[in-house]
Every structure is written in C-alpha cells, then in structure tokens.
Amino acid sequence: MKSAEMDTGTIDSLQQLLFEHKREETVLEADSITILPPQDVMKTMQEIRGKVTTTILDPWYNKGVGGERDDYHEWLFSVVKAAAKISSNIFLWGFPEIVYKVVEQVPAGFRLVTWLTWYYKNCPSVIRGWRSAQLACLHIAKRGARLYPEHFLNGAQLEKQRQGKLRYMPGPPSVIEVPLLVGFVGKAEQVGHPAQKPIKVIEPLVLMTTKEGDIVLDPMCGSGTTGVVCKKLNRRAILCDESEEYTRMTEKRLNIQRVPE
C-alpha cells in the first residue's frame, strides 16, 4: 500500500497517532489498519490525542436492535461533539426522523455539508404500510475542510483535467443507490452482521473527504466495512466497537488482530 504526506495538523512520523491506553503506546503506521479492543465510543474518542481526517459514526438507531434510551438525542449530540474535537469531517448515520435534530446543533466551527441518502429497493420489511427504503447520513465538516470531488472523475474527465479542458468539477450525487446486503444480494460480502453496510456505501464517504495516507476513525465499526474500504483505498484506519462479537468479526474479516490490552 502507498503512503502519502499528511495535511498540516495531522500526526506524522513517530507521532502519527498515539493512544492513552495502559498498554504500550500504539503508533499507526503509514499504511495500517488498527483494531482496538472493545470499548465505548466516547472512551475511544477521548483517548485519541491527535487529529483524524474523517470520523464515521454509525450508532444503533434507537429502534429495535440495540434497544432504546430516553436520552438518545442528548447522547447523540455528545458523541458528535466529541468527534468534532478530533476530526475535520464527521459522517453520522441514522434514520431521518432521528438524525434531523443534529442539524440544529452542529458543533461550533462546523457546518452541514450535505444530507446524504442511502437508497435501497430490497428492504424485506413485513411492516404494513410504507416500506423503508432509505437511511440518512449527515456530512458535517469543519469550516474550510477540503473535499475531493476529483476522486470521482472517470478516465475521460481525468484526461480533460490533465489538458486543462475540464470546465467544472462534477461531484457525485447525494443519493447513494446500493442494495441492502440481504438474502443472495451481496452474498460474498456478507459476514453475519445484522446491519452490515455495503462497501459501495462507505467508499464515497472516504473518497470525498480523504486522500491516500489520511486517517479514518470508525469507533462503532460493526463488521469492519470502513477498514475494508480504507485498505482498498490506501487510507489508514482506526476501528473499534464495544461488542466483543463484532470486534472478532472485524478481526477475521480483515485478518488483523486487535491491539493488545
């Protein structure tokens, strides 16, 4: 995998990324995927001393699987605020009726870049009435954070750019149309997680906000899809989940062992 120079403000060389664990300090190498032992999302973010380029937050949605809590919105605001202290970009997943409240409380110095929608037609819901076909993802970024729409250019557009003939920079759509990983759809990609997101859903988030060598944090990593994407795109990643089961799932999927406690 290739490495790249980091933006000013990110950690480089021997100080690339250090954690305040009781175990020996862990350095994130130039092309590595690091899996931390299971722990709470807030603890993970509080232990990171440096800065990451992008943090992907995919909490349980306060419906069904994962249970419910009365203070969910307050907790969610606190998670986003903690992510803003260490990240230039934040992606927050959730049902539209849940995450819309975050739009009204974007951390100081940050802005809502866009409201992304993951659209899928193959939801196997048995609920009578409207069948769910979407999930929201808020892209919140520090003011001035760089985006990379050029990462989505095709071959012809790249050639025009090289020749100085590309009149404008076309960006990807804010609706990501990819089917759910259910049944025989994406069978080769499925690893047994009840809410596993496809690689093609996470990939645009990483492409738009990072370049090679940048660090992506996923403190609720589930099945480790963010790690798969970062490995494919030559980004560094820090993965963690409070579930022992999902941590093992991520280790097996990426063939990487967690950092010793």
pLDDT bin (cut points 50, 70, 90) of residue 209 is: very high
The encoded tokens of residue 139 equal 């892209």
Q: What is the mean pLDDT of residues 207-214?
A: 97
Max mean pLDDT range (49-53, 70-74, 175-179): 175-179
pLDDT bin (cut points 50, 70, 90) of residue 29 is: low
Q: Are 110 and 140 in contact (CB under 8 A)?
A: yes
> Which residue ranges form the domains of the chain, and what is each CATH number?
28-254 (3.40.50.150)
* Nearest residue to 118 via CA among 64, 195, 50: 195
Is 35 exposed, middle or buried (CB count within 10 Å of its CB: 0-12, 13-18, 19+)? buried
Q: What's the pLDDT at 67?
A: 73
pLDDT bin (cut points 50, 70, 90) of residue 62 is: confident
Ranges assigned E (strand) in 19-109: 33-35, 52-57, 87-94
Q: What is the mean pLDDT of residues 47-61?
A: 93
Max mean pLDDT range (93-97, 167-171, 189-193, 204-208): 204-208
Is 210 exposed, middle or buried (CB count within 10 Å of its CB: 0-12, 13-18, 19+)? buried
Taking only the tens place, the pLDDT of each residue in 134-182 is: 999 999 999 999 999 999 999 999 999 999 999 989 889 999 999 999 9
Classify strands 215-218 and 52-57 as parallel, antiparallel or unpaired: parallel
Q: What is the mean pLDDT of residues 175-201?
A: 95
Mean pLDDT (the chain) is 88
Q: What's the pLDDT at 125?
A: 75
Q: What percent of the chain stands above pLDDT 70? A: 86
Maximum Cα–Cα distance for the chain, whole Å? Answer: 57
**Residue 15 pLDDT more than 60?**
no
